[in-house]
Amino acid sequence: MGEGPDRPRAGIVVTGSELLTGAISDANGPWLARRLADLGFEVAHVVSAGDRPEDLARALDFLAGAGVALIVTSGGLGPTADDLTAEVVAGFAGLDMVVDEDVRAQIDVILADWGARTGFAGPALDEATRKQATIPQGSTPLPPVGTAPGLVVDRPGGPLVVVLPGPPRELQGMWPSALEAPAFAALLATVPPAHPRLLRFFGLPESEIAATLREIEASTDVSGVEIGTCLRHSELEVDLRPRPGAEAVAEEVAREIVARHAGRLVSDVGATVDELLAQALLERGLTVATGESCTGGLLAGRLVDRAGSSAYVAGGVVAYSNEAKTALLDVPADMIETHGAVSPEVARALADGARRRFGADVGVGITGVAGPGGGTEAKPVGYVCFCVTTADGVVIARDPRLRGSRADIRERSVDTAMHLLLRAVAPRGGTA
């Protein structure tokens, strides 16, 4: 939604034949697109190109023809023969390739210890270092995070090209240096601030937001606001990005959406359930323990994925078999016999058992039929029982039927459990 752009346009080229064969998934394109959009660029294209230099050259020419002010590339900066991004970008910018001795010295320092430890020091390593230190003349090298330097290449007449390594850890680690490079910083100074608004809802269908937006459009001119919706981790994200001068309209639209769907609101400032839950547990000094069956530890993994989680995650048990449920989390065998392993009663017992086992303030139990087989008419595939209990007597239970493949059901079960936990420890902070 929204009329033509009046922000600088940017394009992204992710390189690597392994992306085109499906051997790996692209992590860099989405990450870069979000950062560029937050900086105020309109991301016009994300292009994947193989390792053939002519394909990368065509991608660069295409983006230049699309009128972008900035191109960011990822990949192709390594020491092997098919790592040709720097060379292709030099040709695109009309620049010669030269060895930068300062860059070479940096790489030598990085590789010296590795070469000594592995026994691979010698002519081959020297040649690899020389290749990675050969850069377009006049470009600004970015300090290596791995062994490959990045580049900022100021092409006469534009666009500016920022060349970053392919490994996501290295690319993300190099991003701050790229922003500080003089040519990139000068371009950023001309970009109007983005002022984005990101709303998150749980349990709200896209059709409801679509209907709300149609009603708002009937009385408000929203042509100056780009509005996107996306379902991520079972949360519906509503992304509002105003064009310069339309910030007040975006705020008005955000307020109206929140007012109409407050009961399903997770955050009106873009915070995720993971962030909100961690914050609530830390602020209240609470600990949580998990008793999982069908999710097989995915919830515990999600909880401990955040740095500092040892302050609030007490532990977890994967009790997949009936015997494990009884032996490890004290679920009565006769309860399983009477109600079945997948039942609200067993979910409650798993939550209580986990909380007692680890001496935690909050316990969560999950048991369900993840499929593709094992379902019955009464308990079909996707039927999952959840329960969260707290030491001070809060009990929140749900037993929805979740849709999708086995992987979908397990992932959505974790999403649901996260929101139930948030509701239990921060009643006004989440919905489920």
Asked if residue 123 has a cis previous peptide bond (ω within 30° of 0), the answer is no
CB 9 within 8 A of CB 190: no
pLDDT attached to residue 178: 98
Instruction: Express each pLDDT in 324-366 by its tens digit.
Output: 999 999 999 999 999 999 999 999 999 999 999 999 999 999 9
Look at residue 150 and tell me whether its pLDDT is greater than 60. Answer: yes
Q: What is the mean pLDDT of the chain?
A: 93
Tokens of 322: 């009936």
Look at residue 120 and tell me whether its pLDDT is greater than 90. Answer: no
Could you give the count of Cα atoms lying within 13 Å of 402 in the half-sphere of its Cβ? Answer: 30
Q: How confident is the model at residue 3 (pLDDT cuts 50, 70, 90)?
A: very low
Instruction: Express each pLDDT in 159-207 by its tens digit.
Output: 999 999 999 999 999 999 999 999 999 999 999 999 999 999 999 999 9
Q: Once rounded to an integer, what is the mean pLDDT over residues 288-310?
A: 98
* Residue 409 to residues 41, 295, 385, Cα–Cα distance (Å): 36, 9, 12
- Report the distance separating Cα 9 and Cα 72, nearest Å: 12
Look at residue 2 and tell me whether its pLDDT is greater than 50. Answer: no
The helix-helix angle for 206-219 and 247-260 (nearest 10°) equals: 130
- pTM for the full model? 0.84
pLDDT attached to residue 198: 95
- Report the distance separating Cα 381 and Cα 412, nearest Å: 13
In this structure, the strands spanning 97-99 and 134-136 are antiparallel
* Residue 202 to residues 13, 82, 157, 272, 430, Cα–Cα distance (Å): 33, 45, 47, 11, 8
To the nearest 10°, report the CA torsion of 289, 292, 298, 301. 20
Q: Among candidates 51, 53, 68, 47, which has minimal Cα distance to 16?
A: 51
Helix or strand holding residue 128 (H, E): helix 123-132
CB 403 within 8 A of CB 372: no
The one-character DSSP state at 133 is: T
- Say which residues have a Cβ less than 8 Å from residue 381's Cβ, sequence separation at least 6: 369, 370, 371, 372, 373, 374, 375, 409
Q: Among candidates 196, 221, 238, which has minimal Cα distance to 2?
A: 221
Using DSSP, state whether 282 is helix, strand or coil.
Answer: helix
Instruction: Express each pLDDT in 48-59 by its tens digit.
Output: 999 999 999 999
Instruction: Express each pLDDT in 256-292 by its tens digit.
Output: 999 999 999 999 999 999 999 999 999 999 999 999 9
Q: Once rounded to an integer, what is the mean pLDDT over residues 401-425?
A: 97
Q: Once rounded to an integer, what is the mean pLDDT over residues 377-382?
A: 97
What is the C-alpha end-to-end distance of the chain, expressed in Å?
A: 29
Angle at 260 between CA 256 and CA 261, to 5 degrees: 115
Tokens of 250: 């975006």
Angle at 326 between CA 325 and CA 327, to 5 degrees: 100
- Say which residues have a Cβ less than 8 Å from residue 140's Cβ, sequence separation at least 6: 151, 152, 153, 154, 181, 182, 183
Q: How confident is the model at residue 232 (pLDDT cuts 50, 70, 90)?
A: confident
Instruction: Express each pLDDT in 87-96 by its tens digit.
Output: 999 999 999 9
Using DSSP, state whether 317 is helix, strand or coil.
Answer: strand
- Report the distance separating Cα 116 and Cα 315, nearest Å: 42
Tokens of 233: 């981790």
- Report the distance separating Cα 261 and Cα 267, nearest Å: 11
- Report the distance separating Cα 203 and Cα 261, nearest Å: 10
pLDDT attached to residue 431: 45
Q: How confident is the model at residue 1 (pLDDT cuts 50, 70, 90)?
A: very low
Q: Once rounded to an integer, what is the mean pLDDT over residues 78-91?
A: 90
Q: How confident is the model at residue 428 (pLDDT cuts 50, 70, 90)?
A: low
5-14, 231-240, 338-347, range with greatest mean pLDDT: 338-347
pLDDT attached to residue 4: 43
Q: How confident is the model at residue 118 (pLDDT cuts 50, 70, 90)?
A: low
CB 89 within 8 A of CB 15: no
In this structure, the strands spanning 160-164 and 70-74 are parallel
Could you give the count of Cα atoms lying within 13 Å of 236 in the half-sphere of its Cβ? Answer: 20
CB 312 within 8 A of CB 305: no
Q: Among candidates 131, 168, 136, which has minimal Cα distance to 148?
A: 131
Extract the runs of DSSP E, i.e. beta strands, from 22-159: 42-49, 70-74, 97-99, 134-136, 140-142, 150-154
